[in-house]
Structure 1
Amino acid sequence: MSSNINVKRLNSKDAGFREILLSSLSLPSADDEAIDAAVVKILAAVKDKGDEAVLGFTKQFDRLNVASVSDLEISRKDLELAYQSLTAEQKNALDIAAQRVRAYHERQKTETGCHSWEYEEKDGTRLGQKVTPLDRVGIYVPGGKAAYPSSVLMNAIPAKVAGVAEVIMVVPTPDGARNPLVLAAAYLAGVDRVFTIGGAQAVGALAYGTKTIPSVDKIVGPGNAYVAAAKRRVFGTVGIDMIAGPSEILVLCDGSTPPDWVAMDLFSQAEHDEQAQSILLCPDAQYIEQVQASINQLLPEMPRAKVIEASLTNRALLIQVNDMSEACEIANAIAAEHLEICAADPRQWADQIRHAGAIFMGNYTSESLGDYCAGPNHVLPTARTARFSSPLGVYDFIKRSSMIEVSEAGAQTLGAVASTLAHGEGLQAHARAAEMRLKK
């Protein structure tokens, strides 16, 4: 049995190709205003009424009717029990994934300047940088169409590696259904408190704080359109990691990879939701046909076939290019969340990539390995924001303070410079403050 989906085809030689491509990357915005209006009301209610609003929205959206927000908190003991309830295979997989994610982020901490430093000038002036972790962070873990224990690891572990004192996790549990893998991941990652709330109301509670839920300094983690809109609204009151859109995968292929592998890699993001986007760039027209045939052959086997079919029908692209160099050029314009390079010499082409959330090199590096256990973070910039954004990392959970200790000798030199510049700006008090420290 096979399906009969015809994924949209493009050719880089087509007239108006770039305009068609960029329009295919954007999402329809018809619902944005309605979502934003709903989120504004939810956030205002949570800010004004706290626990009462959180309880009301949790009852309305997740069908949980409890007496207090305290009843929505899961204790550390219950998290441990969830971990102990897993099968040996599940425990082992979660343990290995957590160890690899932690090891990668420990290395990232030492390699990316996430530490304090200082140097001394000849006159005794000392300059430097003090790095300190955030005090409290909120992590949002999706819990609607699927459960994501991997998201718990990816959000909580770098926060703990950075030294964040308290990690508060929120996760929706519609109808009270708790996923033991998600809770076990929270236990392994060292999450301090867990509340079974979701949506814009959870974001509001973390941002503003309630009687039961403490306010945080930063909110990280992906969610649905309401969560994204809420994060955008509370930014400034708290920090956020990014505004996450639907998942994306872009595959650059020279035709040397089994087409079934590439088709399944395209499925791996399409199965997230109907708005996810899967794109193939390849110079070989015959190979593109083979991937299309694999899509139709493999789709009926997939448990989430309906979601995959909707995603591929509405958002997927199979694009024929002139050569792999052009594929890299187009990939930089797309700036995808996940970029696979399925080619005989992947590093040759990776050197030409400037914009991508994560780059997966070689035929054996499926994107799904990055999602779960390779080590690098799977919270990645979407919707072309990889042009200016980075994956979630230890650096997202620290802040830097400049350190300045000017010696008496240094004040003579710097004071004269500051005085001249301050007078030039018409700020006499600035100038006088520097001049008072000059020797007569």
Structure 2
Amino acid sequence: MSLQNKLKEAFKVTTKNVTVEDYKKEAFKAFSQKGFPTTKDEEWKYTSLRSILKKDYGIEAAKTSSIAPEKIAPYLVDGVDSYKMVFIDGVFHPLLSDAIDEISMKLLSHAVEDASYENIFKTKYNSLAKGQSSLTDLNTAFTNEGVIIEVAKSKIVSKPIELVYFASGETTAMLLQPRNLIMVGENAQVKFIERHQSLSNVATFTNAVTEVFVAQNGIFDLYKVQNDKEDASLVDATFVSQERDTIASVYTFSFGGNITRNNLSFYQNGSGCDSILNGVTILKENQLVDNHTLVAHQSPDCQSNETYKGVYGGNATGVFNGKVIVDQVAQRINAYQQNDSLLISDKATINSKPQLEIFADDVKCSHGCTIGQLDKSALFYMQQRGIPKSEAEALLTFAFCSDAVKDIKIPGLKRKINQLMADKLEVNIQFDELS
């Protein structure tokens, strides 16, 4: 039985929340009509899901026994004092998580039963993700757990919040569908670190959706760490709505996994918005990472800055599709977009498509794309000064990627990313000393 037919048989609505029930029914109807995306869809032209859809996934959330803290410790960011929220096989684990007094946090499964959250479900939940793709519809229809976070007006959260989703591998292959809603109040500031991680080699397919609302003068930072096992696939859709004079940034670091698709959309709904989208991808073997971004400039006097760097070896494939849309009323926009890729193998592939759609006449917009190899003259120069070839290549690669890493605001996370880069490049270099 195909996964789509299996989902049709399994679909049922268990919540008593009428609003969420309507969302689920409408979303499942939309998914049933569209089905899983294929390479015939323009937005999925270079990324096929056929290989991962053949797995016999379990659909219901597993009731996993507790996992020892030492088993998950390697996947947390050491050296960072953070609040941790841990989910295992789609279930929240309070014993592995921290109590957070600085924010209002409610599990999705509890919020649907809480009348005080009804207005949030009517006005915020699913307002950005609705109808964006068949996979966001699938998440809306089937998600049972996630988190709703509210950061109060003028609150500056003292520590980053780590959202970590583990697949235990104690059951058969799993289809996991976490859903998050984050609301940042006026003048508030908060940082998040997000990771989806398998603890075994059992196949997983995670279809995640996060909606973010940043109120006036708010600051929101999200760091995505993607370094999963070879049979773990991820489709991660994040939608960010910005009000006046806000700063929102999302950094995506992709180093592992089977197929990883990042759908990142920013909507600027007030003047003075600043949107920052940075990413680093380092792949080998048969991995694929597809970064699809959208920045919708819908108000005047805003800016966006987008820098994605990729290094591809083995039979790896990279995809970058970045779209910047400037509405007719969005005058005096400054939008920058750059995608640079290094191919360090003759069999590696990159498909890059930066796009600008401009309907205003007083703007500064630029986009660029480069695809090449390491500078042989620079490599020769470094070798002549006694640096081994592998370390010289790694240093040049690090320098190439540094533009997308240098502005990380959490020092411990910056060291972690540098170490992951070193591990991926298979060299023993203290990258943190270069940051």
TM normalised by structure 1 equals: 0.28
Q: Is the helix fraction higher in 1 or 2? A: 1
Q: Is the strand fraction higher in 1 or 2? A: 2
TM normalised by structure 2 equals: 0.28
Q: Which has the higher contact order (CA 8 A, sep 6+)?
A: 1
